[in-house]
Structure 1
Amino acid sequence: MTETALEPTYGLEPAEVSSSATTDGQLIAMLLDRARNEGLQLTGQGGLLQQLTKRVLESAVAGEIADHGGYEKHDPAGKNNGNSRKYTQTETVLTEVEPAEVKVPRGTPGSFKLQIVKKRQRRLTGVDEMVLSLSAKGLTHGEISAHCAEVSKQPISTITDAVLEGMSEWQNRPPIASIRSCSWMPSTSRSGTGRWRIVRSMR
């Protein structure tokens, strides 16, 4: 089992790091309010933090591969050029936030190895603060670049752009909690009446 540690400084000066640390409680409070307003649980399977962690990691991985291959996902330019992404594999990565199932492209040339989510990697530390900051207040391009540079030897501009784009899509999405279906629940009470149960799911 491998472990990659990210330094939670975002490339800031010591004084700025200290100042940022004092806002952790505010970030968590903002995230709690968001989860409450959308009718979601914050932690646990399918919770808000798990979905955010998955989004950040998958976006970063996509950016890392795009930077190496020179083309975006589904771009015809990558067809049969030796850098094609042959398939994706779901990796369960443990973080301080929540375990997250991340879809990672595999089958890339042997000369290229992912740095952000390595093959057979099961634990990734230091993601929690970036996820909290991205979701609650947003980070600058430079701050994300400094964060990603800790784990990837590839040029990080493409990775950073992918993370920002992924979070922007998430923040502008329709409300997460949506009614997908209603099912009739037979009653076991003496009255013999049943009730409708609303099933909510994550988008």
Structure 2
Amino acid sequence: MDQLEAGEIGQRYPAIPRMWRTAWEEFTTFLAYPVEIRRALYTTNVIESLNARLRKATRNRGAFPSEQAALKTLYLNVRAMTRPDGVIGITRSNGWKATLNAFAIQFSDRININK
């Protein structure tokens, strides 16, 4: 950390070493997780893309006559995004089985993948 402060980056951007010092405890906690879990934590593109499509579907429709109509619209949009093999075809999430297994090992008291 001292090298960062004394180096070119620390001299040019003094806020960077301060940010590292403040976030260091959270960052090292993040590094304690397996690679698969860390990837899931910092990769949210699939979720964001799904949410964006669902928001667009409801916003373009306007008002719904009932809650059932809104749920049907959301269901049909998710179904349209899903490939025949059951995978949501927004973007590919590589290694999801390994990630799910890592979550099941790390959080065995909270996750049961056999449901």
Q: Shorter-chain TM-score: which interval?
A: 0.3 to 0.5
**Per chain length, whose mean CA-contact separation is higher, i.e. which structure has more relative contact order (CA < 8 Å, sep 6+)?**
1
More helix by share: 2
More strand by share: 1
Larger radius of gyration: 2
Give the structure-1-normalised TM-score. 0.24
